[in-house]
Amino acid sequence: MPETPPRKSLTTTGGPGRAPNRAMLRGVGFQDDDFDRPIVGIASLHSDITPCNSHLDRLVRKGVEGVRAAGGVPQMFGAPTVSDGISMGHLGMRYSLVSREVIADCLETVAGAMNHDGLLAFGGCDKNMPGCVMAMARLNVPSVFVYGGSIMPGIGPDGEDVDIVSIFEAVGKFQAGTIDQKKLHKIECASCPGSGSCGGMYTANTMASAIEAMGLSLPYGASNPAVTAAKDREAFQAGRALMHCVAENIRPRDIITRKSLENAYTFVLALGGSTNAVLHLMAIAREAEVTWTLDDFDRLGAKVPHLADLKPGGKYVMFDLYRAGGTPAVLRALLDAGMLHGDCPTVTGRTLAENLDEVPSVYAKPQKVVRPLAEPMYDRGHIVILKGNLAPDGAVAKIAGLKQRKITGPAKVFDGEEACAVAIEQRQIVAGDVVVIRGEGPVGGPGMREMLSITGALTGQGLGESVGLITDGRFSGGTHGLVVGHVAPEAWVGGPIALIHDGDSVTIDAEAKTMTLHVSDAELMKRRATWVKPPLRVTRGVLAKYAKLARSASEGATTG
């Protein structure tokens, strides 16, 4: 590892000229000897906005104890969070992806201004994790991420396990008349039984798993449930681990490399994770200045099997994986199979292989959550990158659990999610349709909204396998069905998705990795000649800033 540099915090606190700075710090409790020790930032995304983050204050206190026990001086500060689940289905979702950039900016701003010697960050919601890691990559000071952990399963009205996706799909069932309002209410009340992030292999658990495989969090960090003593112990040990990283000058850019990104995405593929991993890993790579493209995702997808029978494409949730041995047990199985780079460094000070040395493989004892390598859920990656005349720069589809991976049908085009939601509620979408929702990209949305309300309602109406869906927006990690998101270029900047007309024949072929609009080049040129670039939907505030700066989804939709 690099030679240990002088402590950054001395820029703020060292020497007679910094007496005023030290005076301010004494006002928050600093003692004389604190100025002789490393000063580290503790970024807390605690809030009571969402169950994902409502318990983080408890974990932060444990992390503070760990830092102090290892000789550091912790300084706590906050950052905002947005709940995807609560923001879903309305204009509030425009702020979701934008919050990733805001979180990264907040952590960079505070830790940069204070010249912190290290950073310990606690997050639970979908955008917390990539936002924190993006800031770590920018700052490149020793850093450790702590995931708040997954929620426990709820118990539905018929004794079944339920989670947040259950209630989104129940809305579709209610619209279809297959359940009544009383049962809908019971599922609503049971779906989120306490603190923790959504239980399936949705975006939060996907990114927590990717970050653990990348080496920026402790082993078991992704699978320790939110409400356990195991998560408390992990938070304490994370504080100690951070101080070891400070002492040894182990920094994020030592850890975030092409090889560790391959480990992260390999783990996402094996677990059946969210399409949002494509967007977020691309953003993390960009902040770490590591070359990474959509072709890298597709290269790995061609050889990594989908093994875990986890929701939304399967039966189980993260708590079941925790009982089956946890995330390290699956990493060990992948390492044994030669699918991971075991020599990648991690925040423990050991390599990934050394961390897993005494961990038994998930196949060491009977369990049903992770399928045998010889009998996978799907023999290739469940996330595929599609290209074609509808998405010259690429699009992303998740095919976990799908029986049908190809559809050709008439386009039903909607400019925005709301118009599509009305059509679904009025039962205007029928089997064989290809639904197109445009104007929801990074610039057009702005903010690239997720469409779980749409896909949940379609699934609830029994159309999940029989219609296709294309959008320049995003899908929740809880989405399943023949759906294609991240279409690039997006409609708002003149991408071909802007030129589709109602009734045009469209093919989604996930096996061939193509998406085709069956309209002649001459007709498309004619339509383009009459297309007028629309103005930004929002002209002030954070959404306007994002729309003006946002890169294409094919580049991670970052602002930097």
Cα–Cα distance, 467 to 136 (Å, whole number):
41
The whole-chain average pLDDT of the chain stands at 95
Among the listed residues 165, 104, 164, 169, the one whose alpha carbon sits nearest the alpha carbon of residue 139? 104
Cα–Cα distance, 2 to 346 (Å, whole number):
14
What is the model's pLDDT at position 477?
65
Please state the φ and ψ torsions of residue 282, each to the nearest 5 degrees: -60, -40
What is the model's pLDDT at position 209?
98
Query: Checking DSSP bridges between strand 434-438 and strand 161-162, what pairing results, if any?
Result: unpaired
Cα–Cα distance, 239 to 411 (Å, whole number):
53
The reported pTM is: 0.94
* Active site annotation includes 476: yes
Name the more confident of 365 and 89.
365
Beta bridge partners of 155: 161
Residue 478's pLDDT band (cuts 50, 70, 90) = low
pLDDT digits (tens, 9 = 90+) for 195-243: 999 999 999 999 999 999 999 999 999 999 999 999 999 999 999 999 9
Residue 451's pLDDT band (cuts 50, 70, 90) = confident
pLDDT digits (tens, 9 = 90+) for 487-543: 999 999 999 999 999 999 999 999 999 999 999 999 999 999 999 999 999 999 999
Share of the chain above pLDDT 70, in %: 98
pLDDT digits (tens, 9 = 90+) for 263-309: 999 999 999 999 999 999 999 999 999 999 999 999 999 999 999 99
Q: Which helix (H) or strand (E) holds 138?
A: helix 128-139
Q: Is residue 338 predicted with pLDDT exceeding 60?
A: yes
pLDDT digits (tens, 9 = 90+) for 129-171: 999 999 999 999 999 999 999 999 999 999 998 988 888 889 8
* Catalytic member of 143, 209, 476, 554: 476
SS3 assignment for 212-261: HHHCCCCCCCCCCCCCCHHHHHHHHHHHHHHHHHHHHCCCHHHHCCHHHH
Lowest mean pLDDT among 233-237, 367-371, 448-452: 448-452
Cα–Cα distance, 560 to 287 (Å, whole number):
8
Residue 452's pLDDT band (cuts 50, 70, 90) = confident
Token pair listed for 255: 């850890």
What is the model's pLDDT at position 1?
47
What is the model's pLDDT at position 341?
98
The upper half-sphere exposure of residue 427, i.e. CA atoms within 13 Å in the direction of its Cβ, equals 7
Find the mean pLDDT for residues 348-357. 98
Q: Is residue 2 predicted with pLDDT exceeding 60?
A: no
Cα torsion angle, 209, 210, 216, 219, sign:
positive
Q: Which domains does the chain possess? A: 36-152+194-364 (3.40.50.2300), 153-193 (no CATH), 383-555 (3.50.30.80)
Lowest mean pLDDT among 8-12, 59-63, 68-72, 479-483: 479-483
Find the mean pLDDT for residues 359-363. 98
The Cα-based distances of 126 to 81, 123, 275 in angstroms read 9, 9, 12
Token pair listed for 275: 């399409």
Q: Residue 155 corresponds to which amino acid? A: I
